Structure 1
Amino acid sequence: MSRDVFVAGVGMIPFAKPGKSEPYFQMGSTATRLALADAGLAYGALQQAYVGYVYGDSTAGQRALYEVGMSGIPIVNVNNNCSTGSTALFLARQAVASGAADCVLALGFEQMNPGALGSVYSDRPSPFDRFDQETDALVGQSDIPLALRYFGGAGKAHMQEFGTQLSTFAKIRAKASRHAARNPLALFRTEVSEEEILAAPMLWPGVMTRLMACPPTCGAAAAIVVSETYARQHGLDHSVRIRAQAMTTDGPETFAAHDMREVVGFGMAQAAARQVYEQAGIGPEDVQVVELHDCFAHNELLSYEALGLCPVGGAEKFVCDGDNSYGGKYVTNPSGGLLSKGHPLGATGLAQCTELVQQLRGKAADRQVANARLALQHNLGLGGACVVTLYERV
């Protein structure tokens, strides 16, 4: 048995630089209150909650939600690296689809430190041991921060196979800034040109400049998912349905292919997207708007191909033709994406959800994608997990 699941409410706070935000529990409770207000519900209506964060102690989800209410409901804390927020949404949707609950909260937050990501627990084996070994073998560059080596290496592999130019990644980053200029919740709202991006300090000569990487960010976002019966009984907005959703983890190709693109999750994303299209009975050409995981401009380009928005090897033409923005085939990351909106790891998936729900409701203001009916979300976490979700205006 599987029931239709609708997004009745969403909430998101403006993202901020590390050190400039409120504590995690205040950010999380504020996003929850915003989602409840958007849905027109009291906290007591929630029957379960799934709370995602990467950097925090156990039961930080309870700490955040206790600020809103202490109703005794099940609260499950979730950590799945950068796909944490959409993993919380995946679990919330499953609870409603299965009939286990009718009204469930998915919440994500992150209070981050400045600088590159690093390991917190140095006294035990890292879950990235095998990823690091493969990356060392394929690209070396041990003097470069880890995440940059992963995604820069994947971008370099694309450059080497297809002749992709550094300027193409700059075009993607410039597009993100143009979109974010319309988003009051984005961290960076200043437009930057392709030339400025190419002139920024090189993090990896010939492969990546500083502006091609997303910034560490603090923030929170939330969504409330409900069954159709519950929505009708309580007069809730049920104009946006989760039509299909899939979550995948690494397959053998991650290491067996000896390709940095597979190390960073190309196969996971491709498999999740394929499952979603099959569940919904559509193709990527039926989608109008996409929020995808652009932690680096390089991963946005790879994701175009993994999600089937263009053929493998066709991403540079896709970008140069303007098919990734308003007036093209798709509008990708109208929010500004991770590159400009920011990337608070646990909140990112639910911030993407918030943007797409607003798009399908026709309430995205200056960012509105005309006639948006189907919206695709792609959220990736190395180590690894990928969640792809298709939303539909009904």
Structure 2
Amino acid sequence: MSMDVRVVGVGMIPFAKPGASESYVEMGAKAVAAALADAGLSYTAIQQAYAGYVYGDSTCGQAVLYRAGLTGIPIFNVNNNCSTGSSALFLARQAVASGQVECALAVGFEEMRPGALGSNFPDRVGPMARHAGLMGELQTHDPKAPRAAQFFGGAGAEYAEKYGTGPEVFAKIAAKARVHAANNPFAIFRNLLSVEEILASPRQYGPMTRYQCCPPTCGAAAAIVCSPAFAARHGLDGSVAIKAQAMTSDTASTFEERSMIKLIGYDMARDAASAVYQSAGVGPEDIQVVELHDCFTANELLTYEALGLTPEGTAEQFITDGANTYGGKVVTNPSGGLLSKGHPLGATGLAQCTELVWQLRGTAGSRQVPDVTHALQHNLGLGGACVVTLYGRA
């Protein structure tokens, strides 16, 4: 399959706290309209659509996309936990790359409730029962801590014990996220926080404090992908291409190596990144900007190493040197990331895509990273799935 797929339209709406947003239908429809306007296309040009969301009934995608038009195209609903948005993008890209269609749309949206994530179906076996069971064997359960915080906080604690990493190292990631988000009108938290304020917030689990955990958020984002021929025929801006993309799920190492770091998807991320680098013929040293899945500061730290941005065991130096921000080696989460921009589960992957397309176009305003030629996206969902996408100039 050809990997020469162009991203010709992106759009998102400002994220909001639960209870302060419009309905998922309104949010999703606005993101789709923004992507269509950005591309300069009518919805009638879209040949397939993929809609991602986690908390919603069946065919929510149709409810959103019917606002754009009733054209009879195939609409697929996607749910892959926190990697849902990128999973929808993966399928849209794959449809174009395979030649099944010339133009496809991916939209992600989420209307979330306040508080920690939970199951809507407590009357049956949960899909993460195996993961939760192993976590219970590897570390002490805290009934007051959110389950997600125990997964990622436990992984952070394991890393800290292995490498002697202090709590302030994790806190510096959250402080950096706030600095970046201050320049993003789409972010939910734009006020600055000091390392001391972050460390003083209530502890959740392991080294994680409240300000090191992403908030439940409502929002939507969308992207339109097409073939180069379609872009040329319709006079579209085809300057941004998906150079490579890989999607992985758990392997035996997730469970057999009895490591919290492995349990929260380290190997999924490493394997997906490796496949992307190999396919595109580039390495992490060629990347100028990354939007990665910082649901917790621990995961951002671990992902630096999983993506090969810094060797294993060196994340502390990477952070201390400022290699993860403007003026450093690679700018991570210029949007503010999940920690500060927010994390509406179904929308996150497509919001990351939108930010990176803006960066490659040179239209990111005060967040612009200089001279971007390659941009990397990492979107992780426990349970599990990980999507890594490499964008570049066509």
Compute the TM-score of the two structures, normalised by the length of structure 1: 0.99
CA contact (8 A) 1:136 1:142 kept: no
- Structure 1: runs of 5+ lacking an equivalent: none
Provide the residue aligned with 1:139 in structure 2.
139
**Distance in 2 between residues matched to 1:165 and 1:134, nearest whole Å:** 26
2:376 partner letter: L
Partner amino acid for 1:174?
A: A
Q: How far has the Cα of 1:75 moved from its partner?
A: 0.1
- Compute the displacement of 1:2 (Å): 2.1
Identity %: 65
- Supply the AA of the counterpart residue of 1:195: E
State the SS of the aligned residue for 1:15.
coil
2:362 equivalent in structure 1: 362
- Residue in 2 aligned with 1:107? 107
Contact 2:50 2:75 in 1 (8 A): yes
Mapping of residues 168-317 of structure 1, within 5 Å: 168-204=169-205, 207-317=207-317
Deviation at 1:3, TM superposition (A): 5.1
- Report the secondary structure of 1:2's partner residue: coil
Conservation of the 8 A alpha-carbon contact between 1:85 and 1:347: yes
Deviating 4+ runs (over 6 angstroms):
none
Distance 1:56 1:393 in 2: 36
User: In structure 2, the residue corresponding to 1:72 is in which secondary structure?
Assistant: coil
Residue identity opposite 2:334 in structure 1? P
Between the aligned partners of 2:261 and 2:204, the Cα distance in structure 1 is: 19
Cα deviation, residue 261, structure 1: 0.5
Q: Residues 219-271 of structure 1, C-alpha deviation per residue, up to 9 Å, x if partnerless?
A: 00000001000000000000000000000000000010100001000000000
Amino acid paired to 2:118:
G
- In the alignment, the residues of structure 2 paired with residue 4 and residue 73 of structure 1 have an alpha-carbon distance, to the nearest angstrom, of 23
> Take 1:228 and 1:209, find their aligned partners in 2: how far apart are those partners?
46
Q: Contact 2:292 / 2:333 at 8 angstroms: preserved in 1? A: yes
Q: Secondary structure at the match of 1:173?
A: helix
1:91 is paired with a residue whose SS is helix
AA matched with 1:386: C
How much does 1:319 deviate? Answer: 0.3
CA contact (8 A) 1:166 1:207 kept: yes
Q: Which residue of 2 aligns with 1:123?
A: 123
Instruction: Report the counterpart of residue 84 of structure 2 in structure 1.
Output: 84
Specify the alignment match of 1:43 in structure 2.
43
The alignment partner of 1:299 has SS state of helix
The one-letter code matched in structure 2 to 1:231 is A
Partner of 1:375: helix, strand, or coil? strand
Separation of aligned partners in 1, 2:221 and 2:98: 24
Q: How many residues align?
A: 393
Quick one: which amino acid aligns to residue 199 of structure 1? A
TM-superposed CA distance for 1:142, in Å, is 3.4
Which residue of structure 2 aligns with residue 349 of structure 1?
Answer: 349
Aligned partners of 1:91, 1:215: CA distance in 2, in Å?
A: 27
**8 Å CA contact retained: 1:3, 1:227:** no
The answer on whether the counterparts of 2:219 and 2:344 sit within 8 Å (CA) in structure 1 is yes
SS at match of 2:262: helix
> Alpha carbons of 1:282 and 1:3: their partners in 2 closer, same or farther (altered >3 Å)?
closer
TM-score, normalised by the number of residues in structure 2: 0.99
Shift of 1:12: 0.2
> Shift in Å at residue 145 of structure 1?
1.4
Distance (Å, rounded) in 2 between the aligned partners of 1:103 and 1:246: 20
Equivalent position of 1:71 in the other structure: 71
Report the Cα distance in structure 1 between the residues aligned to 2:3 and 2:318, rounded to whole angstroms.
37
TM superposition shift of 1:326: 0.3
CA RMSD in angstroms comes to: 0.7
Give, in whole Å, the separation in 1 of the partners of 2:29 and 2:203.
Answer: 39
Report whether the alignment pairs 1:157 with 2:158: yes
The answer for the alignment partner of 1:324 in structure 2 is 324
User: Structure 2 CA distance, aligned partners of 1:225 and 1:59?
Assistant: 22
Report the AA paired with residue 137 of structure 2.
Answer: A
Matches of 2:269 and 2:204, distance apart in 1: 26
